[in-house]
């Protein structure tokens, strides 16, 4: 009787420890995600899908954006290799 109670207690402890580990690792990965978001990706509120013939300059003119703003919300964008259907950020904050 005492033995089986012990087993149940051990099992309960084990489950609690595993649950704790899962919670901690989830919290940690969320923190890393927040940090990464702050470091690199600017937040984008509106996107525009590139159509045939579009250029970065054309898109900035279409939406009255300054190139500085456009560059800041589209980091790492290579304007010489735009492709149709590519999403460009046209509103947001860097
Ligand atoms: C962009 O600016 C021009 C002139 O200032 C204006 O006529 C046009 O409506 C604006 N377009 C947009 C999308 O805001
Ligand atoms: C942009 O794309 C063009 C064409 O694919 C390539 O030649 C050029 O090196 C790229 N530039 C950068 C900064 O990645």
Which CATH number characterizes residue 69's domain? 3.10.350.10
- Structural domain count of the chain: 2
Report the pLDDT value the prediction gives residue 26, as an integer from 0 to 100.
Answer: 66
Same-domain status, 49 and 88: yes
Tell the residue nearest (CA) to atom 2 of ligand 1. Answer: 64
Cβ–Cβ under 8 Å, residues 90 and 48: yes
> From CA 84, how far away is CA 59, in angstroms rounded?
13
Are residue 51 and residue 17 in the same domain, yes or no?
no
Same domain assignment for residues 60 and 88: yes
The number of angstroms, rounded, from the C-alpha of 46 to the middle of its chain's C-alpha atoms is: 15
One digit per residue, the tens of pLDDT, for the chain of length 94 reads 556 677 767 777 777 767 667 656 666 555 545 444 444 568 999 999 999 999 999 999 999 999 999 999 999 999 999 999 999 999 999 8
Tell me, yes or no, whether 88 and 61 share the same domain. yes
End-to-end CA distance of the chain: 65
- Which of 55, 56, 78, 79 for mutating ligand 2's site (highest number of atoms within 8 Å of CB)? 78
DSSP state of 79: G
* pLDDT (0 to 100) of residue 25: 66
State which residues form the domain around 70. 43-93
Q: Which residues line ligand 2 (CB under 6 A)?
A: 78, 80-81
**pTM higher than the cut 0.85:** no
């Amino acid at each position: 009787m005492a033995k089986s109670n012990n087993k149940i207690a051990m099992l309960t402890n084990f489950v609690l420890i595993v649950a704790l580990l899962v919670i901690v690792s989830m919290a940690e990965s969320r923190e890393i995600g927040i940090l990464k978001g702050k470091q690199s990706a600017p937040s984008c509120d509106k996107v525009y899908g590139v159509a045939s013939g579009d250029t970065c300059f054309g898109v900035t003119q279409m939406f009255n954006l300054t190139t500085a703003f456009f560059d800041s919300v589209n980091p790492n964008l290579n304007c010489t290799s735009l492709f149709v259907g590519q999403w460009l950020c046209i509103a947001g904050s860097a």
